[in-house]
Amino acid sequence: LKWDLGVADQALEKGQKFSENAENQYIVLYLQNFSEAILTAQGGTKEDWKRLEKNKNERLKRIEKNKTDSPYFLYCQAEIHLQAAFVALLANEQYDAAQSLKKAYKLLEMNELAFPKFLPTQKSLSVIRILLDFVPKKHHWLLNLLGLKGDWQKGINNLLVLVHSEEFCKVEAKIIYVLLQVYLLQKPEDAWLFLNESLGNLNYSHRSVYFVRGLVALKTGKVEKSYQELSKIPPDSQGCSLPFVNYLKGETLLLKGDYARSLWFYQDFLANYKGKNYLKDAFYKIFLNYWFLDDPRSATYLQLIPYRGANMSAPDRHAQAFAEYEKLPNKKLTQIRLLCDGFQFAKAAELIGAVLEKDLETEKDKLEYLYRKARIAHGLENWEKAIFFYEQTITKAGEKRYYFAPNACLQLGMIYETVQKDLLKAKIYYQKVLSYKEHEYKESLDTKAETALKRLNF
């Protein structure tokens, strides 16, 4: 059993033939739910969500009716509940997600007590313990209500035991470890190094690894490498949604400044994607590509953003806010932002030299100009200049509700933590991030600051 829908489907075909064995029945039902949950999460409609919920309950009933003294009895039930939590969270059904998570957690704890040597339990239990410990403070009341408590250090340690084992789910555990490093612990370079060392020699039967390598490369600014890894996924791959792969390819090309090719992938995504998430963002990115190409079709896509997709993911909320803003931002500054996001700092430095302060018409543009100068200096490792412009951004912004000041604080915290090794100053800036009341990226920036403070044990 490997973390790949293609392999899962093969196992299902074989499993149907020997499912008279109870343990095999559990595994087959778990794989069926896993396959359906992944496909639903990637692009499911409301009908797909309802169908998954119905099928999930039927599968759980079938497992419960055939109880045996096997570690897979509780494990497979817990996995199905965990899959349900993941799908519900994507659908913005937070209460349902929390309830499913609680059921999974309790079942896994029971299995850990009953079968302490059964390592696969630790895969999911570790993830839950880590995630619970990083839940934003404003949601702690819900955890207390449900009786849930995290322990990220214990979770990481147990996950690493599984990573270095020979258990059937070790590839999945490695992928989970990498994603936690990138998205939670904010150590993308460490994740990339681990990925190359432990998952660098897998063949096409592990298509999901290419998808993860593409994601991590994108997060570490290796946009060309990201595109190459994503391009290794065959068109008939069952491990990843091809429309979403093309969405990410469009992202890599946009960050490189290859606007015409980026357009093609985003338009292909819109033509083949059935879900609601990331639609607003795709329309926004198509607008940007046309806008940078001085193509009048940009206006059409900008006008369509409020009427397409859902408003649940952070990229979609950003696209919605952009569409509702009364005035377009400075085009060159927007291009510079994307180049910085793609770690193309040398190109960004060239472009910002062509921006004249007299062309900055709004207060927001003037603040962003300072912030972009800081980001470019940061990316080019000119620490003194970066600190100067970050501090200028914070001073000029005051309490204005833009994300530039809180993000400047976050970046200063990272410089003082990792470069200057001044942990007390890092703490001050991370705490300052939390002091800003309202801005576009408050939830994500606050989470990153809280994670950093936890990492520093403050």
Digit-coded pLDDT (tens) for 273-293: 877 888 999 999 999 999 999
Dist. CA 105–CA 73, nearest whole Å:
14
Dist. CA 193–CA 190, nearest whole Å:
5
**pLDDT the model gives residue 438:** 84
**pLDDT the model gives residue 53:** 87
Residue 451: which pLDDT band, with cuts at 50, 70 and 90? confident
pTM, rounded to two decimals: 0.82
The more confidently predicted of residues 436 and 241 is 436
**Alpha-carbon distances of 49 from 52, 61, 126, 209, rounded to whole Å:** 5, 19, 27, 26
The more confidently predicted of residues 43 and 171 is 171
Which one-letter amino acid corresponds to residue 220?
Answer: T
The more confidently predicted of residues 438 and 415 is 415
Which residues, other chains included, contact 97 with Cβ-Cβ below 8 Å and sequence gap of 6+?
A: 85, 86, 88, 89
Closest CA to 330 of 292, 281, 376, 379: 292
Dist. CA 371–CA 402, nearest whole Å:
11
**pLDDT the model gives residue 453:** 92
**pLDDT the model gives residue 67:** 92
**pLDDT the model gives residue 202:** 57
Closest CA to 91 of 40, 57, 16: 40
Nearest-5° angle of CA 269, CA 275, CA 279? 55
Dist. CA 100–CA 383, nearest whole Å:
46
CB 196, CB 189: distance < 8 Å:
no
